[in-house]
Amino acid sequence: MSHSHSFDKHYLEDGKGFKSWFFTHDHKRLGVMYLWAIGIFFVLAAIASFLIRFEHLSPGQTIVSAQTYNVLFTLHGAVMVFLFIVPGVAASFGNFLIPLMIGARDVIFPKLNLYSFWIYCAGSLILLLSLAAPVDTGWTFYTPYSIDTGTNVILVTFGVFVLGFSSILTGINFIVSMHKLRAPGLTWDRLPLFCWAAYATSLLQVLATPVVGITLLLLIGERYFGLGFFDPAKGGDPVLFQHFFWFYSHPAVYIMILPAMGIISEVIPVFSRKPIFGYKAIAYSSLAIALISFLVWGHHMFTSGQSKLINIIFSVITFAVAVPTAIKVFNWLWTMYKGSVELSTAMLYSLAFIFLFTIGGLTGLFLGALAADIHLHDTYFVVAHMHYVMIGGTVFGLFSAIHFWYPKMWGKMFDEFKAKIAFTLIFIGFNVVFFPQFILGTQGMPRRYFNYAPEFESLHQLSTYGTWILGVGFILMLYTLFKPVGVADSNPYRSVSLEWSMPSPPPTLNFEEIPTVTTSTYDYGTKVEQEA
């Protein structure tokens, strides 16, 4: 095999123009394109959320009508969930990193990888086409409203169905790559923890997505052919839709968070200069989370009238998810203990992840407790809990990854000082937006409502002011990332992981010679590191 031409140029230089990107098989280019795509959708959905918050500056109508408000929160939810956070870290950094981390030239099915990206683009376009008659059901498409509403439910659900294929094919690609392409010596107990997390994520993508696929097909059939699965008039059951929907969408929550946990496991040891504590515990806890996540979907329906016994079982299993999650958190903390911690931007985002995710996770337990959930169900408490996990967890994890692998991805360095100011604004802004929502929720403010009682006004206003701080933080972060300062060498953070052993940015085919791995991925503060 002669691939010499592919090692002279790095992957960003190897081919110019639209065609060289849109038809590429290179996992790194696909990862970068996913990153761009999810970035654009993130901004779109964030703008919708800023408008939602602006609307809540005062009770009654502030800037938009009630119908527009319903459309905005549906748009925010559907785009954030299906276009941003589900593909999110897994498709972007998973694609970019997995082959580099396992010592392979690409994923095992490079063409299929490209098709997954195209399917993602097609699904996104279909979903966005629905904006012609924007959907007002919320991102969960609950029946019976989703069957009755005159808006474009078929188009949106079909878009999500198509996106599911992309998710499934990416998952299959990653799982098979990790089984078949690990470099010699890279045994499962040396595999980087990001790969373990991506493996667990991929399992969820492969096993959960088809169920939402059939659910959405049935919903389309219900509107189009008059199927009766979810229609009580025909003997069907709307709660069945919720069961089907959450059988996917609860595991999907872990599709969103697991890759971010993988990132934290990579960043913490590098900036603590210590081997990761409890490698096996972190690795297996990813699989445990994936497994348990299939058994807890019923906790979304505590107030839907399902049997008391089922409620108790789902509640107990929900508590069980906290165990593997806490195992990860304590192992990360222990990794830092007595390490020489360097507060780089990436590390700050990772530390914020641990702090915010812990709040998000613990408040999840309140909601998993049957008695408390009766009070808190469908209030702002749920909104706050979910955003602490999804932003405080996944988005902070993603930002950590964007900063940590920035030198590897782009071959350049960013301005650490500006990036840290941006981090500070984002961290403060985020808490100002969402912490008051916990209080609003306990006071009984229902989620999704257009209007609210006057006594909630001050907390709503505080939450809205927070979005402005958050917005400034995002803009400063983007500015910092788009204004690189200086060229990166191959390993500016002195990591011992495989992806840092090659030039920045990596050549198209990554490894001229497939490496042989002889040590753990986390040999910090040992002889190996001093040699490296």
Partner 1 sequence: MQIMKFIKSLAYPSEMLPPIVEEESHFDPETEHSAAKLGMWLFLATELLLFGGLFAAYAIFRAKYPTMFAEGSASLDVVLGTVNTVILIFSSWTVAVAVSAIQENKIKLVQVMLWITIICAAIFGINKYFEYSYKLSNGITPGTDIFYSIYFAATGVHMLHVFIGMAVLGVILKKTYEGRYSKENFTAIEIGGLYWHLVDLIWIYLFPLLYLVG
Q: Which residues lie near partner 1 (CB under 8 A)?
A: 1, 3, 19, 23, 25, 104-106, 108-112, 115, 168, 171-173, 175-176, 179-181, 206-211, 213-215, 217-218, 221, 225-229, 234-237, 240, 244, 247, 509
Prior bond of 275 cis (ω within 30°): no
Please report how close the Cβ of residue 107 comes to partner 1 at its closest, in angstroms: 10
E strands along 375-458, which residues? none
Please report how close the Cβ of residue 136 comes to partner 1 at its closest, in angstroms: 25
Please report how close the Cβ of residue 382 comes to partner 1 at its closest, in angstroms: 26
Helix (H) or strand (E) holding 407: helix 406-410
Q: How many CB atoms lie within 10 A of CB 211?
A: 20
Q: Residue for token digits 């897994």?
A: 90
> Which residue lies nearer to partner 1 by CB, 297 or 332?
297
> Which residue lies nearer to partner 1 by CB, 211 or 347?
211
Please report how close the Cβ of residue 235 comes to partner 1 at its closest, in angstroms: 4
> Which residue lies nearer to partner 1 by CB, 307 or 530?
307
> Which residue lies nearer to partner 1 by CB, 18 or 482?
18
> Which residue lies nearer to partner 1 by CB, 99 or 392?
99
Contact (Cβ atoms closer than 8 angstroms) between residue 406 and residue 353: no
DSSP string over 458-518: HHHHHHHHHHHHHHHHHHHHHHHHHS--SB--S-TT---SGGGGS-SSPBTTS-SS-----
DSSP state of 15: S
Report residue 356 CA to chain centroid gap.
15
Residue 18 in tokens: 């639209």
> Which residue lies nearer to partner 1 by CB, 82 or 404?
82
> Which residue lies nearer to partner 1 by CB, 237 or 457?
237
Residue 378: φ, ψ to 5°:
55, 30
Please report how close the Cβ of residue 209 comes to partner 1 at its closest, in angstroms: 7
Please report how close the Cβ of residue 380 comes to partner 1 at its closest, in angstroms: 32
Q: Could you give the CA distance from residue 54 to residue 31 in angstroms, rounded to a whole number?
A: 34
Q: How many CB atoms lie within 10 A of CB 365?
A: 15
> Which residue lies nearer to partner 1 by CB, 17 or 454?
17
Q: Could you give the CA distance from residue 209 to residue 199 in angstroms, rounded to a whole number?
A: 15
Q: Could you give the CA distance from residue 151 to residue 259 in angstroms, rounded to a whole number?
A: 34
Please report how close the Cβ of residue 103 comes to partner 1 at its closest, in angstroms: 12
Q: Could you give the CA distance from residue 31 to residue 178 in angstroms, rounded to a whole number?
A: 17
Three-state SS sequence of 339-356? CCCCCCHHHHHHHHHHHH
Please report how close the Cβ of residue 291 comes to partner 1 at its closest, in angstroms: 15
DSSP state of 449: -
